[in-house]
Structure 1
């Protein structure tokens, strides 16, 4: 058995950070095209930074979509979402950007996203968007 060396603070980019930096939303063919079904994804560890204060924001992102020709790979979604952790972005813009990126790669029939942000300063906020592909 080989010991994995514990990373030191002098190392530049860790393998997890590199995976997050290099991520892209990857799709694969829908295994059941023509059959409408919903895919529900919960991402309970979303983080970003407030563009005004720099304080961290924490949220659970809920995504439900009805695939068209493509399905998005789950590990790719995880890495993509983790890419927000150091971004200065508002609640509203982060949820809209996630939706835009998802629609661009997957072109789903329907897409619903909800960002449920943890209270900060006694204020709780959710951002929700429903989309249906025009016919």
Structure 2
């Protein structure tokens, strides 16, 4: 490996580092409808051990004025991979960031973490009222 290969971030790493939630106008703001997104490869790190934690994120929402753009959401979710953060905090922060980005009528995030040490954790957080 050359010096350049070890120090220059790859294009995917650069995209993840620059990730931000992007939205577009809701194509049908007068109708309440449901969007369900599954992100099966979420990772972050345990704040105590530093070991990786793996989860499936299930994000469901009823759009308000804006809709989340999927590639931007994917990059944003991947940006958590090196953060040492608890299951509870990361689920709440992801929900807060998504709500701030798109102002949904209702949103739910279920973070289903893979069992570790014979413990299976699911965190469910909500925003707003479902119609």
Pick the TM interval, shorter chain: over 0.9
Query: What SS does the corresponding residue of 2:74 show, helix, strand or coil?
Result: helix
* Unmatched 5+ stretches in structure 1: 1-7
What is the TM-score when the length of structure 1 is the normalising length?
0.90
Matched, 1:55 2:51: yes
Q: Which has the higher helix share?
A: 2
TM-score, L = length of structure 2: 0.93
SS where residue 28 of structure 1 aligns?
strand
In the other structure, the counterpart of 1:127 is 123
2:28 and 2:100 map into 1 onto residues whose CA distance is: 20
State how far apart, in whole Å, the 1-side matches of 2:40 and 2:6 are.
31
Q: Which has the larger radius of gyration?
A: 1
Instruction: Give the secondary-structure state (helix, strand or coil) at the position aligned to 2:108.
Output: strand
- Alpha-carbon separation, structure 1, partners of 2:38 and 2:119: 22
What is the distance in 1 between the residues matched to 2:6 and 2:58? 37
Question: CA-to-partner distance for each residue in 1:99-128, whole Å, 9 max, x for gaps?
Answer: 000010100000011000000001000000
Over aligned residue pairs, what C-alpha RMSD do you find? 1.1
Shift of 1:11: 4.0
Match of 2:16 in 1: 20
